[in-house]
Structure formats: C-alpha cells, structure tokens
Structure 1
C-alpha cells in the first residue's frame, strides 16, 4: 500500500508541475460526461486486452457519469460514478464466475490535458489522470489507486467524444487490480450564456420574466406606416463627396507640412547658436577650449535624439587644393570621433571635407584677410540633414 501511495503522490506532483508550464486553454469551464464503461478484471495483466468475450464485463445501457472542471492551464478535476455487472463465465482474477455480481465505483481524479501543446484550436485533446477510488463488488468495499489517460475528440467547442482507460490497483488485502475503459461524450456547457438568456438583462426576477429591450428595428417592424427610403445619391453628389474627401486629406497634409517646417526651423536655429570650433593653421587637433564648444553640440544631439547632422571641416584660402581637401576631412573626422566617444551614434553624424567655407567667410576669391578673418574661415559648419 505504501508503494501505491508513493506512486500517487509522484503522479500528482508531475501533473501539477506540468500544468504550470504550458499555454492556457481558451477558458475555464465545467465538464459533464456520460457513456459506457467496460471492465477487464481477468487478472491477465493486459496480455489478453482484446479478448472481449471472456474478459470484459459491460452492460447495455449508459453506466458511467462524470462531473468535472477544466482550468485554463490544462488541469482537470473530475468525479466519476460507474456501474457494471460481472456475468457468470466471465474471467475474474483468473477464474470463471459462477454467479452474477454488481460492480459500483466512485472515483476522484486530477488530470492534465495536452491540447495546447498540439493545437489550442484543434479537435485532438489527449490527457493523463490519476487519483483514488472506492469500488464495491460482491458486497465488499475496497480503496483503489487509479492511473490512466484518454482522448477527447472535440466536435465543436461544446461537445466531444471521449475514450479513456484507467488502471485500478486495490489498496486493501487481496489487491483486486483491474482495468476500466470508457466510451462516451463530454459536454462543456456555457452557463454564462444559459443564465443570461438571449443576451438581455434578467428583470422581474421574482416572476422569472425576461424583458427584451426595444430597438429601432422593432419599432419599424411594428409600424404600419410607410417608411420613407432615402433616394440614392446622384453622380454629382458622389463627385462632390470625393472632392470634399480629397480636400480634407490635402488640408491635413498641409497642416503636417507646416508643423514639420516649424520643427525644422527650430532645430536649425538651435544648431546655428552653437559655438563652432576654429582649428589652428595647418592643424586638425582639438585644443582645450574646443571641447567646451563640442559639449554644446553633444547637448543638442541628446536633446534632439533623432537629429542627423553633417560636419564640414573648413580650411582657409591658403595652401594647395589637394592639401586643403585632406586637412578638411581630418578636421571633420576629429569632431565626429569625439562625439561618438561621448555616446552619439555614428549613423547620426556625417563628416565631410570642404576646401571652401560655404558660410559667410570674408576670405573668398583670394582676397587679402586678417588673422581673425582667416580663423573665422577655418570654423567648422554644422548642417541639419534630418530629424
């Protein structure tokens, strides 16, 4: 008996643990079942499982009924009541009976269904179950340990055909072990819909009368007056509606364009207000005071996290074109490196060279310039590309 109890607790633990790991059934719900049961108490240990005539006992009417509850995690709790009859000449524990015996059983089972592992919306629903039972045969009562499984074949969301097999091990002296098979149907009622009637509220509960709310359709059906039908719209009316719809879409687009322009101007204004680095002559290295100016640019990029800018490294008018092109690219690259090391994504920065300052530089077309004017022409440019 201790061995069977040990197996029972292990089975319950596996079922409960498995039930917490998988997807959920569509909803909780009660399960009502009924059908036939067949018992193999021949003592052959399943070696003659299909010897129906000698080993199986059954009756010709529905003899098994169940009530259960299905949780949305797949756990099933069920209670069964069954009746059977051992007729004479049927093998019981290896011996042929000499008389008829009535068989009664009450079983409480907990199970787990695997439908969600296969197809939550499908019709195939295998399950396993275990539990305890009490049987009465030949005037003797005996506790049993039960372990088995079965299949529900769902015809729709409410009805299923059920096939099941349950091994039963006796826990009292004598250990009358046997197998009980089931064939029947399972019904999952929708109690919410049942008690709610046709979807209306329950009113006048004491009288049990359900009042249906009146709808405009009911008024039309009950009316004997002719109903005015709106005429079909003319072609001109349809064209006007289309024009109005197009005008509304275009107006909305203009509004969006205006908002985008306002945002763009604001970003350009903020970017223009940032102090710009002016490199020393023939140098692409950043100096101490340059970092303070670049920190302003970093603040701008963080404040507008979707902004994309172009950094143009400028040079003054002196030097060859080839040298100035090389130097301008290095200057823009130095600034991009500092920004990316400070956390700005490199995809938001384009570093390009420019051999001619495209801002308002005083040193154009080889005009003589002072040192201050030359320094101004070496200032980098920040250009807004996108936001």
Structure 2
C-alpha cells in the first residue's frame, strides 16, 4: 500500500505542473495514456543480462507488462519543434534478464525534452518521429535510483489532435543499484488547448475574425457569397458579385451594379439608371406605353398612328394591324355568321368509337377552325362536347369532357392557338339539339360545338 501511495503522490505531482508536452503552438497541451513494458536484459551487462540491444524484441522471455493502463503523460509544446513531457508509470517485475523475481512493484516518474522531426518531413503529414533526453527516478520495491534517459518514439496522427504513440526509452541508472533498463510504451495521446472561438479551424491568435467562421485564405474571415471577396470588403456580402463592383453583382451585364440598377434583370442605359429603352425615344420601357415604337413623352412614348384605319389609335389598339371596333378595343368582333361557319367545320370532327382520340380525317376541319380563330386574336372560344342519351350519364359526361379537351389540345398544340384563348367543357347528354328516340336525332346530339366565350379587356 505504501508503494501505491508513492505512485499516486508522484502522479499528482506531475499532473499539477504547467510545463508539459504538446503537439504544436495551436494545440499546446497533450495528455496520453497507454501501457508500458520494462526490459532489464539488453543493457550491456553480464548474466543474467545481455549485451546492449541483445534480444531487444524478446518480449516473451524478458518483457515485464502489466495488462492494464499503466502509463500516463502530460506535455506542453515549447516552440521550434521542442516540447517537454512528464510521465508516470507503474508495473510488476517478475523477469530480471534471464532470472525470475518475486512480483516486485515498479514505479517511474520521468521528465524529458523532446524534438519532433514532423515539420522537417511534412508539416501537414501524419508521421511524427521524435527524439528525447531527460531524467527520472525509478522505484523497485524499496530500492530507488535516478537515471539519465534517452528516447526514440513515433506519433501517428489519426486526426488533427489524436495520435497513436509508440516509444522506447533507455534509462541509465545513476546510483549503485543496478537498475539500467529499457522501458517501451504504446498508447494514445490527445493534443488540446488551442482556442478557436468560431470553430472554423483557424485558431483565434491567427484569426482576423475570431468570432465569425471564415476561410483560411482570408485569415479566418468569411466570404458568405463565395465570390472571392471577404464580407468586410464586400458591398453585397450575401450576393456573389464582381471585384470591379466591390462584390456586387451585375445580373444583366449592362455595366451598372444591381444596387444602383432600377432594372437589374434587363440590360439598360446609365442615363435611365440601368433600364432599357427599346425604341430609343428617351422613355424607359417600363414607363413607355409603346416600348417598341418611338413616340413623344406627351403621348406616353407612343406614336400618333392608326395603322389599320379603324379609328382606334395604335396606342389604344389591341389589334393595331387588323381593323376592328372601338367597342372591342380595336379588334374585330366575332359575328353570328363566323360562329356558324366554325360549327359547320366542327360537325365534321370525328372520334374513334367510345374514345376521345380524333380521327385523322378531321384534321383539315380543325385547321380551318384555327385559321378563323387567328383572325380574332382578342376572342376566347369555348369548345363544347355533347353526347346522346345512350349509356350511363356519368360515362357520357366523362366522354364529352375528354372529347372537348382533345379538340382544345389540338388547337393549342398543333395549330398554335394561345392556351388562354381556348376553353373546353363537356355536357354529356344534358343539351340535346334533337330527339334521342331516333338514330338520326342521336347522331345530331353526338357533336362538338364552338361558341364565343368572351372578349378580353385591354390590360
């Protein structure tokens, strides 16, 4: 028990010191735990010991190993590759060279100065060999002796601050007691102590923006929009931009940065704060009622013209190239005769039996319908689908809707009629135009009709 107390006293002693081992100046502190093996054989003595380094790796015959955590270290980085370390170890001795002893207790307290070759090999690498010199004191039962120590070791860095460590230390005893021996160890160490307030991997002492995560290229300062200009020098830190505009974008590439551009998505003129003037009349398009035609400001940028001669000036004419009526904003109005003509064509539209697919022989009629619709660009046409009374009501309604939709889709997709100018609906058997009691009447009731829905008002 007295030996255990001695070991605890030594451990508390070096754990309370401040000059200890480290990885580097950013993580100056390091702690380690591991196992140790004590070997009295290869020390250059007479029997029962062998010559120096003789049977150095004969761990089966000569190594004394305690099967538990038996060594702790504490260290601090000094600078220029140098660090200092204190170590405490415990073991049980039953092999003294070729002799066997009676389970002696072993305690060691050691200090060393170490030099790491890592930066000479590869500063960013994982392989970290080192040499160390120092001294210590060893107790074996009641015998104690100081020693001069020499160490060769290797740290293998698994992460930025965790390493697997192996080392071998020769302890040359200074007293009369013959306690020269090798002590080998293996374990893990953790380097810590570097302060990185914002967690960006750049320690505060090297970080120009220590409280905001940033990039190494900007000494720890952020570039939120990733445009290569750090936020503190970026007039638009949340939008990727150009250096010539202090980090602000020029979305429309007109040479005017977006914050100063009234029309940032349309290339424009500096004289109009970045807004376009397509007709060159000095009025920006957003305020020009006729942006494609030059006109005076007094007429809101529109010329005083009436190209189609219908009495509606072009600036108010929704159909400036087709004569219409004032009531229809300069566009032609659909007459009863036109609707009748459309429905004469619609009567010839045929579908596959019990399907909504249009038969090819109906395509000419549909083209004629689309040509008439093109003559009335402001008019919305309604396609109606109807059936006779044979079959179930629900089925007839569904089929009429699908057939009306097929005609609508053909006019939009094949004849290029604007989708907002055609609507469709199916009415099933609800609107017969003849009796359903005869074959002739039912044939009339199975039909597609075109009607006039409404005229679009001028926007």
Q: Specify the TM-score bucket, using the shorter chain as the normaliser.
A: 0.3 to 0.5
Which structure: larger Rg?
Answer: 2
What is the TM-score of this pair, normalised by structure 2?
0.37
What is the TM-score of this pair, normalised by structure 1?
0.44
Higher relative contact order (CA 8 A, sep 6+): 1
